[in-house]
Chain A
């Protein structure tokens, strides 16, 4: 299958978190992933976009941009915002770190790391954050009609 790319941009509304994970999962489905692979990608996208909604734009709305690339069996998802940025990226990658008190566990990035093969976080305070995560699907099994 030829490489393919999808670009999405939407405001950081909580209602759009489900839209984002569903849209990315639908796009990735053309590679015929297993259900656990698709669930992991949905989980990772949900966490990344939730981070934008809750942390990047805590008191306002801003744009969220998602680029999804399919390269062979490799899925690459970039989630980008222009929000407040993260002062210490390493600290927020630690399990259980959160700046919120409202029943948030602070495990969003840890869950992404568990669900994807690789994650890269780049952030500048006042400029925004860019998360790139990738996952290689295990088998090439073709599309619909092929087992």
Chain B
């Protein structure tokens, strides 16, 4: 499991790769939390394009970051979820809470950045 973070304007983009489960979430959460401590963004885009598996541990991680951003008035967006990841995201009902778009390019367009 990997995570790379970058800024697109005032939005933090976190690109996740690999599998999100109970074993991998703690390290990913720690790295993202550090980035959120370093600088409070206007919003967070979680790019799941290269996430190949996610279960409820991963869903808890997504919801936790959404709540974290919401506390500081920031928005969260999910981009690129597909296959099993998309199905689990939709089954959980989180789609009613966290907006999702098909691709990172769409997410960046929505927040006014470059693709």
Contacts and interface: CB of A to CB of B under 8 A. Distances in A.
A17 B22 contact: yes
B35 interface: no
B23 A111 contact: no
B63 A46 contact: no
B64 interface: yes
B23 A105 contact: no
A46 B25 CA distance: 14
B56 A15 contact: no
Interface string A33-60: 0011001101100110010011000000
A39 B63 contact: no
A51 to B, nearest CB: 9
A102 B91 CA distance: 21
B23 A17 contact: yes
B19 interface: yes
Interface on chain B toward A: helix, strand, loop, or mixed SS? helix
B89 to A, nearest CB: 11
Interface string A54-78: 1000000000000000000000000
Contacts, number: 63
B4 interface: no
Contacts of B59: 105, 107
B83 A50 contact: no
B106 interface: no
Contact of A14 (B22, B56, B61): B22
Interface in B39-74: 53, 55-57, 59-61, 63-64
B105 to A, nearest CB: 25
Contacts of B29: 103
A104 interface: yes
B84 A50 contact: no
B57 A50 contact: yes
A139 to B, nearest CB: 19
A52 B107 CA distance: 37
Contacts of B21: 14, 17-18, 46, 50
- A-B pairs, 6 with minimum CB distance: A39-B84, A103-B60, A14-B23, A103-B64, A46-B55, A50-B22
Interface of B: 19, 21-23, 29, 53, 55-57, 59-61, 63-64, 83-84, 87-88, 91-92
Interface of A: 14-15, 17-18, 21, 35-36, 39-40, 42-43, 46-47, 50, 53-54, 102-105, 107-108, 111, 114-115
